């Protein structure tokens, strides 16, 4: 089906992304997976051809266009050639971190950080999750004590994507006991005394996407590194969560679409009982269901991307997009993997690794259960509560 929300500029950008992913990432995926991390240089290579920070203003090297369709097509093209793990590292940099630096950061901060960000010389991460605080952002305990011209930060974060490679860590820090108005966003930089990286976490999947524990021990963070207003961190995080959830939804649809195509190619050539298994009715029915699920999800996600661009995407609709896309991805990958038989269990086949990589999508960015809670509250089923109180 023709993707009507892409114009010629998006498709040209997609060709650039496809070529880069196929030539610069896909041939190295196996070795990077074994190493458990992608090299920093891949960010610089992507930045050199305009694949990073394209929403940044032109004066800092970006395209100056806050059009999420570019973000979407980059993820899709990476997924198509089994380069999605690196593509998602780019997505954390582009889709999740950039809005804080470009929209919340002041003029001096943008001048200081955005040029290197766009070139891929400064890699970004965001640190919200803690050992005792996952989906409940208000439970964050990493503390920042006002010490005049700086804050003294102590605490720990975990499950931080790009954690090993990151130069700029946008960190949610508690600066007062108020659960909602006590969080502040600070950029903690590589090399600050007391900022240490723990182990690169041994995950079930997404092996070449580095994910780390971060530890802060009496880190002196200058007030010049505070993003926006002190105490407004919760508001900024909530404002950007819909785009983060759209990024996850886009990745899930892209991975499911790629898995569907790998399976179609496989069943056309794999012979059983003297005929291609694609000729069997069960295969046709299974893939018909998968193709329909992908097409329906793709249509909804495309509509949500247009709403996001227009500033009209609600938190509830973003939650619906993430919930539906990630649960759909699980069903489609399971069905496709089954058609590979024993080969679907071999890591040398992309379908096997994709199935493992996809497991976390129903967890990070807010679990499926949290998404259902957001959607359910939006339905105003409890007459004693108003939407404004949710």
Which residues are marked as active site?
Answer: 244
Q: Which residues, at least 6 apart from 373, have a Cβ–Cβ distance to it below 8 Å? A: none
CA 117, 50, 251 angle in degrees (round to 5)?
A: 85
Phi, psi of 54 (to 5 degrees): -70, -20
Q: How far is CA 87 from CA 52, 168, 172, 248, 305, in A?
A: 11, 19, 24, 12, 18
Of 123, 127, 160, nearest in space to 43 by CA = 123
Burial of 305 (0-12, 13-18, 19+ CB in 10 A): buried
**Can you tell me which residue has the tokens 């030539």?**
23
Give the helix/strand (H/E) hosting 261.
helix 233-269
**DSSP codes joined into one string, 81-112:** TT-HHHHHHHHIIIIIIHHIIIIIS-HHHHHH
Q: At 292, list the tokens.
A: 């329909």
The 3-state secondary structure of 16-72 reads HHHHHHHHHHHHHHHHHHHHCCCCCHHHHHHHHCCCCCCCCCHHHCCCCCCCHHHHH
Tell me how far apart the alpha carbons of residues 114 and 124 are, in angstroms, rounded to a whole number: 10
Q: Which residues, at least 6 apart from 105, have a Cβ–Cβ distance to it below 8 Å? A: 113, 227, 228
């Amino acid at each position: 089906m023709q993707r009507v929300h892409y114009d010629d500029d998006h498709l040209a950008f997609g060709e650039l992304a496809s070529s880069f992913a196929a030539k610069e990432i896909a041939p190295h995926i196996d070795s990077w997976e074994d190493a458990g991390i992608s090299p920093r240089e891949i960010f610089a290579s992507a930045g050199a051809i305009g694949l990073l920070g394209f929403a940044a203003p032109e004066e800092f090297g970006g395209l100056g266009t806050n059009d999420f369709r570019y973000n979407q097509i980059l993820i899709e093209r990476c997924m198509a050639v089994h380069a999605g793990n690196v593509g998602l590292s780019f997505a954390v940099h582009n889709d999740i971190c950039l809005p804080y630096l470009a929209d919340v950061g002041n003029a001096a901060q943008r001048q200081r950080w955005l040029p290197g960000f766009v070139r891929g010389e400064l890699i970004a991460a965001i640190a919200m999750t803690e050992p005792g605080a996952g989906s409940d952002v208000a439970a964050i305990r990493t503390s920042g004590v006002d010490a005049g011209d700086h804050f003294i930060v102590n605490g720990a974060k975990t499950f931080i994507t790009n954690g090993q490679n990151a130069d700029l860590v946008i960190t949610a820090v508690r600066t007062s006991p108020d659960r909602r108005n006590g969080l502040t966003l600070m950029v903690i930089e590589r090399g600050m005394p007391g900022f240490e990286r723990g182990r690169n976490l041994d995950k079930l999947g997404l092996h070449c996407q580095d994910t780390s524990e971060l530890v802060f021990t009496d880190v002196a963070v200058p007030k010049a590194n505070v993003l926006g207003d002190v105490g407004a961190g919760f508001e900024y995080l909530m404002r950007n969560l819909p785009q983060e959830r759209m990024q996850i939804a886009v990745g899930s649809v892209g991975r499911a679409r790629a898995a569907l195509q790998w399976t179609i190619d496989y069943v056309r050539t794999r012979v059983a009982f003297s005929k291609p298994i694609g000729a069997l009715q069960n295969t046709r029915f299974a893939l018909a269901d998968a193709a329909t699920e992908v097409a329906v999800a793709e249509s909804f996600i495309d509509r949500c991307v247009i709403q996001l661009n227009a500033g009209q995407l609600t938190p509830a609709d973003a939650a619906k997009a993430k919930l539906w896309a990630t649960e759909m991805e699980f069903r489609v990958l399971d069905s496709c993997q089954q058609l590979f038989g024993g080969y679907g269990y071999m890591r040398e086949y992309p379908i096997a690794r994709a199935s493992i990589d996809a497991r976390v999508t129903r967890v990070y960015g807010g679990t499926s259960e949290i998404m259902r809670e957001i959607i359910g509250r939006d339905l105003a089923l409890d007459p004693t509560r108003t939407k404004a109180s949710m």
